[in-house]
Structure 1
Amino acid sequence: MDPEYFTSYNMCWGTLGTVRPFPGFHADRDAMEIREALESKNVVTLLRILTNRTNAQRQEIVKTFEEQTHKDLAAALKKCLSGDVEVLLLELLMPPVQYEAYRLQQAMAGLGTDEETLMEILCTRSGPRLQEIRATYKQLYKKDLEKELKGETSGDFAKLILALLNKSDTAGGVQRDIESLSASLSGKKADAGPWINILTSRDLDHLNKVLTGLELKNGQTINQTVEKHFSGDFRLGLSVLVQCIQSSDVYLAKRLASMKPSFVHGIMVSHSEEDLLCIRAAFVKLTGTSLYSALQKQFKGDHLQALLAVCRSED
């Protein structure tokens, strides 16, 4: 799909997501159907409704269901479902900002930290959105997200993570930034400071000019530069950040290509109403197959049907 397609699609549909408002929506009717489906364990009906409504519509269903039954819909789904399909439908029920706070919490839960999932969310969300997520995290988990991230990371990677959490666009000259990044590589050990400062505080258009200029100056790609001069978690984090600056769609498509359920859920649920069509197009270009077909090869049963419903169609 070319950019002109996306422009026309955006004008016609008002979204680059795959899930759009269900026409003729009635929360009362949906809540009643869901109640009956739960009683009869009719998973097909649950999937049909919950994957064909926007998150805002799902929130109305949740509220109406509780008014009708005096029960929590998420708790009712847990009793009826199991496995990955249960996880996916429960994730679809979460409000978007709550879901991203949940993903961050899960990335830090238990032994070890999922650094790349932290980076994925922090790199692909705006500063204002991240502050909403931070406030929601505090409300849900009674902990400060910045302190939690600081406790789970260290060194230059921790500085990068915290800079992304608190990012805001500030002015800077393209040539000056190119020179600053180039100079940071000239010592015996590369200086991470300018990379953190510049790459977390400029807009995407500016940063792409800076990265392109640095590639021309150094005679190698930014990825090669990052691999050569940095190491450990910071190299991973910087690599993810650079990929997201160059094209978040391509980066997210790469994550989807792993077909790891938690990655697939996280990206498809988070982006289903925003830009999943763009990610689907990047996936085709990257892998030579559609996301729809790739899901069919990897998953099965009700879980597959739910994922296909969110994906929507072949490319």
Structure 2
Amino acid sequence: MAMVSEFLGQLTLSYGTEAEPIFPTVVAFRDFDPINDAIRLDGAMRTKGVDEQSVIDILTRRSYEQRREIAFEYERLAKKDLQTALKGALSGSLEALMLGLMKSPAHYDALELKAAMKGLGTDEETLIEIVCSRNHRQMADIQKVYRDLFKKDLEKDVAGDTSGDFAKLLLALVQTKRDEPSNVVDYEKIEDDAKSLYDAGVKRKGTDVAVWISVLTQRSAAHLQRVFERYKRYSPYDLKESISKEVKGDLEKSFLTLVECLENKQAYFADRLNEAMKGKSAKEKVVTRILVSRCQVDLMKIRSEFKKRHGRSLYRAISEQTKGDYQKALLSLCAGDD
């Protein structure tokens, strides 16, 4: 069966094994019964008019691993694929969100990257968000899944859809050459890197972007956090201010995103969500992607940063900027007000 083989294939993926803080809003359901959940889902989707609330209650309050077990039992009992059934029963943003929850993190990111590079034009914002915010182990998993799904290398697609220094930065991140974290603090290397960043940018006329790319894509996150602090001893501007003075366009956005994620990834996603929920209606694709990809990682901390930085809770923002069953599903993933 398709679902069974897909499930077994995903067992080998170790997405995000590098130690990062975990602040999930979605955790494993305590009294978990995959057979009962599968039966409830089947009933909810056979009902005339579809019982969306039951689908939301089950899939947003189970961990990814539990959703895979439910999918396994659903296919065994209903003799059809759960994702196909969800596509037939749901529509629009709710469908996209539920289908996103059924994918492994690497699988979901690979699909989002492919969609960002599909057809005429490129969705640079999505490329920047994913490539600049995932650690090198996560990128390695994304590369593997991307190759399995599309029979193409992610590097080749990124190179074909971007150009110039912007392409060089993204490719350096996709190639996963970042140092492993170390318990040893190399003060001499911190000093050298801070000076190199200054010498390659603010100190000179024109920017030696290659130096910036090399340092920012190859050093560990912990090392770079110290470099950013040391940089202030050389430059009258912090690194983000320097970036905005030295480069523009997609290269500026990608450098800024990379530095923001290295400094405080949860604050970056809080700001991204706030931007996506300004105006009359939310940018639903952005909101969906962030909540799906972060709900088992650090959405609780993103909630905290959102309230601190923007003066309203993420729960309230979702309530004000979205509606219907899609809103209910987002609020369930958000898992509470602040």
Q: Aligning the two structures, in what range does the TM-score lie when normalised by the shorter sequence? A: over 0.9
Q: CA RMSD in A?
A: 1.5
The one-letter amino acid paired with 2:270 is A
Amino acid at match of 1:88: L
Decide which structure has greater helix share.
1
CA distance in 2, matches of 1:277, 1:109: 32
The reply to whether residue 218 of structure 1 matches residue 225 of structure 2 is: no
**Structure 1 counterpart SS, 2:61:** coil
Per-residue Cα deviation, 1:282-312 (whole angstroms, up to 9, x for no partner): 1111110110000000011100000000000
Instruction: Tell me if structure 1 keeps the 8 A contact 2:190–2:223.
Output: yes
Deviation track 1:175-196 (CA, whole Å, cap 9, x = no partner) reads 1111111111233311101110
| Residues in 2 aligned to 1:101 and 1:145: alpha-carbon distance in whole angstroms | 9
Check conservation: 1:116, 1:240, Cα contact below 8 A. no
The 5-angstrom pairing of residues 109-124 of structure 1 reads 109-124=118-133
Contact 1:253/1:279 (<8 A) preserved: yes
Aligned-partner residue type, residue 240 of structure 1? T
| TM-fit CA distance, 1:276 | 0.6
Q: Distance in 1 between matches of 2:153 and 2:291?
A: 27
Match of 1:201 in 2: 218
How far apart, CA to CA, are the structure 1 residues paired with 2:215 and 2:284?
Answer: 34
Q: Does 1:287 align with 2:304?
A: no
- Aligned with 2:272 (options 224, 241, 255): 255
Q: Does 1:76 align with 2:81?
A: no
Aligned partner of 2:253 among 213, 233, 236: 236
Provide the identity percentage: 39
Equivalent residue in structure 2 for 1:277, among 286, 294, 300:
300
1:37 aligns with 2:44: yes
Q: Does 1:180 align with 2:196?
A: yes
Q: CA offsets, 1:183-238, max 9 Å, x none?
A: 11233311101110001111222212211222232111222211111122211211
Larger deviation, residues 279-288 vs 123-132: 123-132
Secondary structure, counterpart of 1:105 in structure 2: helix
Judge conservation of contact 2:155–2:175 (CA < 8 Å) in 1: no
Letter in 1 for 2:237: Q
C-alpha contact 1:157 1:233 (8 A) present in aligned 2: yes
Larger mean CA deviation between 112-121 and 157-166 belongs to 112-121
2:179 is aligned to: 169
Per-residue Cα deviation, 1:84-141 (whole angstroms, up to 9, x for no partner):
1111111111122111111111221232222232222222222122111101011111
* 1:66 Cα deviation from its structure 2 partner: 0.8
Structure 2 residue 63 is the aligned partner of structure 1 residue 54: yes
Q: Distance in 2 between matches of 1:105 and 1:213?
A: 38
Distance 1:222 1:95 in 2: 34
Q: What SS class does the counterpart of residue 26 from structure 2 fall into? A: coil
Contact 2:133–2:257 under 8 Å retained in 1: no
3-state SS of 2:212 partner: helix
If the length of structure 1 is used for normalisation, what is the TM-score? 0.92
d(CA) in 2 for partners of 1:205, 1:149: 27
Distance 1:187 1:223 in 2: 17
Question: Hey, what's the Cα distance between the residues in 2 that align with 1:180 and 1:95?
Answer: 39
1:216 counterpart SS class: coil
Deviations 1:25-62 (A, max 9, x none): 11111101111111001111111111111010001111
The counterpart of 2:105, out of the listed 88, 96, 110, is: 96
Equivalent position to 1:154, from 135, 142, 163:
163
Counterpart residue identity of residue 101, structure 1:
A
| One-letter amino acid of the counterpart of residue 176, structure 1 | D
Structure 2 unaligned spans of 5+: 1-20, 181-185, 278-282
Conserved 8 A contact 1:59-1:95: no
Greater CA drift, 34-43 or 257-266? 257-266
Q: Which amino acid aligns with 1:47?
A: I
Aligned residues: 302
Secondary structure class of the residue paired with 2:234: helix
Aligned residue identity for 2:119: G
